[in-house]
Amino acid sequence: MDRSVGSAQALLASAIGRLHRTDARGFLYYAAPLVALLLGFLTVSILLLLIRVSPFTAYSALITGAVGSQYAIGLTLVRSVPLIFVGLSVAVAFRAGLFNIGAEGQLQMGGLATTYVALDTGNLPLAIMAGFAAGAGWGAIPGYLRARLQITEVISTIMLNFIAITTVVLIASGPLEDPQATYPTTPLTPASTNLPNILAGTPLHAGIFLALICAVITQFTLYRTSLGFRIRAVGLNAKAAQHAGMSVTRTIVVALALSGGLAGLTGSVEILGVQHQLGEGWSSGWGYTGIAVAFLARSSPLAVVPAALLYGFLSAGSSNMQISTGTPGALTSVLEGLPILYLLALTARPPRSRTVVIDETVSQSVEAPAPEPAEAQPT
């Protein structure tokens, strides 16, 4: 048994090492997102010409609205912050072979917990930790359902999104409702819990530093710790990981809990840094946009940052483009979605056999080795 477990561990380590070495050598691995972006902008340029709008004029207005002034820069950055957190959340799940569509619900619960703790204690660190804990707990639910009951996380996270959104509306219009407000919302969070502004005249807050720190910590965790190795191993091949002695069940639950915790931080920084109160419709759908961010970043935590900045750039500059050129608002959504479609097409691969290649000439199956035949007994 020890011999088979040891060989499986060596096989798994070699497979993961080869996978990342191959990715590092492949030019297309890094070039594909850039090519997809260029193709997306080219396609939108054709659509602009069809509606008789100059692409140069439209993109100039887009750039001006995103980085044309100090306020525009601050707006671009502050709209990138929630996308960094959600992108990291989805990337962690991707690395474990899981598809977390529940980041929207997890950030809703994170925002709810942050608001409650902020109003109750007035303590900033405690409010942020409450947001992480609430998101992690909400993420662990589909993790347990997947690991124990084999219920796909795609369905369970979607259902939990609706439950979380409805719960937030009921509490914000019930126990936590501000009686003096003209519409259902909570009271403003205390000033002691608000994230400080770091760029005068703009909405940019200190939450961007927390987002960057989380990106570095997530990168380190996934690639420099045993937990990260287990997460990536389960995502690469759960059967091989289990044969190597890893607890696939525990790893799946932990991975989705970490994913949910990062999504919960989205709610924390948005409530404490921008909105300062909780109400119906307070989220702009970051949980779904973050899926595109993580995919464009190829599930790399550090690459999530520039991918989120790109989507923040598009979000901040789209209004000025619409006003200046009269283009429909849906065109920005097209520009956000097209690169993902092109990236899928550029990186599509034919199905491969379930065999881990160790070198150029030798292949080994990841299934458990067959028992050795019994030795012949002397007559």
pLDDT at 95: 94
pLDDT at 24: 47
Beta bridge partners of 39: none
Please determine, for residue 323, whether its predicted confidence score (pLDDT) is greater than 60: yes
Domain-embedded: residue 114: yes
Domain-embedded: residue 361: no
**At residue 205, what are phi and psi to the nearest 5 degrees?**
-125, 175
d(CA 108, CA 105): 5
> For the chain, where are the alpha helices, taking DSSP H only?
2-25, 27-50, 55-67, 70-95, 103-121, 124-149, 153-172, 207-224, 226-236, 238-243, 248-270, 286-296, 301-325, 330-347
Q: Would you mind telling me the total number of residues written for the chain in this entry?
A: 379
Domain-embedded: residue 115: yes
Domain-embedded: residue 374: no
pLDDT at 7: 54
- Please state, as a whole number, how many other Cβ atoms lie within 10 Å of the Cβ of residue 361: 6
Please determine, for residue 77, whether its predicted confidence score (pLDDT) is greater than 60: yes
pLDDT at 377: 46
Least confident residue range of 17-31, 156-170, 364-378: 364-378
Q: Cβ neighbours of residue 331 under 8 Å, at least 6 residues apart? A: 44, 47, 48
Q: Cβ neighbours of residue 38 under 8 Å, at least 6 residues apart? A: none
Please, what is the angle between helix 226-236 and helix 207-224, to 10°? 70
pLDDT at 264: 96
Least confident residue range of 61-65, 95-99, 322-326: 322-326
Interval 9-48: pLDDT, tens: 555 555 555 445 544 445 566 688 888 899 999 999 999 9
Domain-embedded: residue 75: yes
Domain-embedded: residue 245: yes
pLDDT at 27: 58
Domain-embedded: residue 360: no
Q: How many structural domains does the chain have?
A: 1
Amino acid at 29: Y
Beta bridge partners of 364: 356
Please determine, for residue 1, whether its predicted confidence score (pLDDT) is greater than 70: no
**For residue 282, what is the domain's CATH number?**
1.10.3470
pLDDT at 319: 87
Domain-embedded: residue 376: no
Average of per-residue pLDDT values in the chain:
85
Interval 223-279: pLDDT, tens: 999 999 999 999 998 888 888 889 999 999 999 999 999 999 999 999 999 999 998
Domain span holding position 48: 2-348
